[in-house]
Amino acid sequence: MPSNRLEAPLRKLMGPGPLDIHPRVYQALTTPVIGHLDPAYLKTLDRVGELLRNVFATQNRLTHATPGTGTSGMEACVANLLEPGDAVLVCVLGYFGDRIRQMAERQEADVTLLEGEWGKPADPERIKEELDKRSYKVIALVHAETSTGVLQPMDEISRLAKEYGVMILLDSVTSLGGVEVKADEWGLDAAYSCSQKCIGAPPGLAPVTFSDRAVEAARNRKHPIRSWYLDITLLDKYWGSERVYHHTSSSTLNYALLEALQLIDEEGLQHRFNRHLKNHKALVAGVEAMGLEMLVEPPYRLPTLNTVRIPEGVDDVKVRGYLLEKFNLEIGGGLGALKGKVWRVGLMGYSSSVENVLFFLSSLSRALAVQGCKSDLSSGLDAAMSELGA
């Protein structure tokens, strides 16, 4: 007789997300569901906000997690900051920058695109040229472009935004909790992330933070915010001191998010960033010693998401299928312009570990061998271990 039990294979998640989840976070998911206005639950929500302020490095009062995945955070930021006719400069150097562009166009903002090669960061010089041409309300860009594996340096862009009095809208979906995000220092007006990557919780919530200036601008718009669900002036009445019902907040997901944030707090942010960097360097050393190449130049490599070029003649889909079937290992394929050209290997949150680096190198070497592509695994493992100082 077929079993009615819910079954899912136990995978090792090393793709662009979701990633592996710490047992304590799984356990938090079984905490009893309670009402969204229960005083005990409101304490949970307050603590989520408090710990999110730490990871965003901000004092912003309006810092919380919108219901929905990272895309809901993106929509919250775009829909609240932009109204019809607002001039926005959108930097598109990958798949997710383009998603911001699409959303800004749906808000009927006056969108100027600053496009660049996928695999490279946005050039502050070009941003400056655009800012010299006309006045903008917002610059929108992606801090950690998951489609290319590029980490966007922020210091110069932040300086320019301050000099020209432009707001910054930042996608920190693949950086928050794994790479430094300095919302206050960089002067971010709206930033969003997701629960399922470096934060280490299941998908379903999107951490967001809005500066006081952004909240003020949202309150004083000419046109109403086009998304009712993600209108921060309404959400603020639930998250803030008024405690007015807005939506039935998922206590289950917020418990998990809180536990994941508590784990981050216990580890310490700087220690966590160092761990992500160390494991990334070991993976790169291993991959390169095996004879493979990275897509991104060293200064711009994102520690949390590694893009490895697929060697000539190797079948992307077969390799990923083999890894999943034989080793229960999930890695990501390329998106958009990079489809079939790169693998995307995530080392985020609980998945960023020495064991995972070594497991990935060995499994990939075997998958390549099955395709008739030789790689030097022994050198790869040696290089990774020596990078780790082991």
> Which of residues 107 and 375 has its CB atom nearest to ligand PLP in the complex?
107
CA distance 185 to 188: 8
> Which of residues 223 and 247 has its CB atom nearest to ligand PLP in the complex?
247
Which positions ≥6 away from 140 have C-beta within 8 Å?
78, 88, 89, 90, 91, 97, 100, 104, 168, 169, 170, 171
Cβ proximity of 347 and 276 under 8 Å: yes
Does 230 bind ligand PLP (CB under 6 A)? Our answer is: no
Which stretch in 28-36, 69-77, 226-234, 351-359 sits in contact with ligand PLP by CB under 6 A? Answer: 69-77
Q: Please name which of 257, 198, 206 lies closest in space to residue 46, comparing C-alpha atoms.
A: 257
Which positions ≥6 away from 18 have C-beta within 8 Å?
196, 197, 202, 203
Peptide bond preceding 121 in cis form (omega within 30 of 0): no
Q: Please name which of 291, 328, 326 lies closest in space to residue 308, comparing C-alpha atoms.
A: 291
Does 204 bind ligand PLP (CB under 6 A)? Our answer is: no
Site for ligand PLP in 340-359 (CB under 6 A): none
Q: Is 369 helix (H, G, I), strand (E, B) or coil?
A: helix
CA distance 244 to 189: 25
CA distance 322 to 269: 36
Q: What is the largest CA-CA distance in the chain?
A: 71
Which stretch in 118-126, 171-179, 218-226, 268-276 sits in contact with ligand PLP by CB under 6 A? Answer: 171-179
Q: Please name which of 358, 352, 345, 348 lies closest in space to residue 390, comparing C-alpha atoms.
A: 358
Contact flags string 76-115 toward ligand PLP, x per CB under 6 A: --------------------x-------------------
CB of 69 to ligand PLP, least distance (A): 3
Which stretch in 64-72, 81-89, 218-226, 270-278 sits in contact with ligand PLP by CB under 6 A? Answer: 64-72
CB of 225 to ligand PLP, least distance (A): 20
Does 330 bind ligand PLP (CB under 6 A)? Our answer is: no
- Binder among 60, 66, 80, 146 for ligand PLP (CB under 6 A): 146
> Which of residues 96 and 273 has its CB atom nearest to ligand PLP in the complex?
96
Measured CA angle at 196 (ends 174, 366), to 5 deg? 80
CB of 345 to ligand PLP, least distance (A): 14
Does 141 bind ligand PLP (CB under 6 A)? Our answer is: no
Which stretch in 168-176, 214-222, 336-344, 379-387 sits in contact with ligand PLP by CB under 6 A? Answer: 168-176
> Which of residues 105 and 288 has its CB atom nearest to ligand PLP in the complex?
105
Does 148 bind ligand PLP (CB under 6 A)? Our answer is: no
CB of 4 to ligand PLP, least distance (A): 30
Would you say the C-alpha torsion 65, 71, 72, 77 has a positive or negative sign? positive
Interface residues with ligand PLP (CB under 6 A) are 16-17, 69-71, 74, 96, 142, 146, 171, 173-174, 194, 203
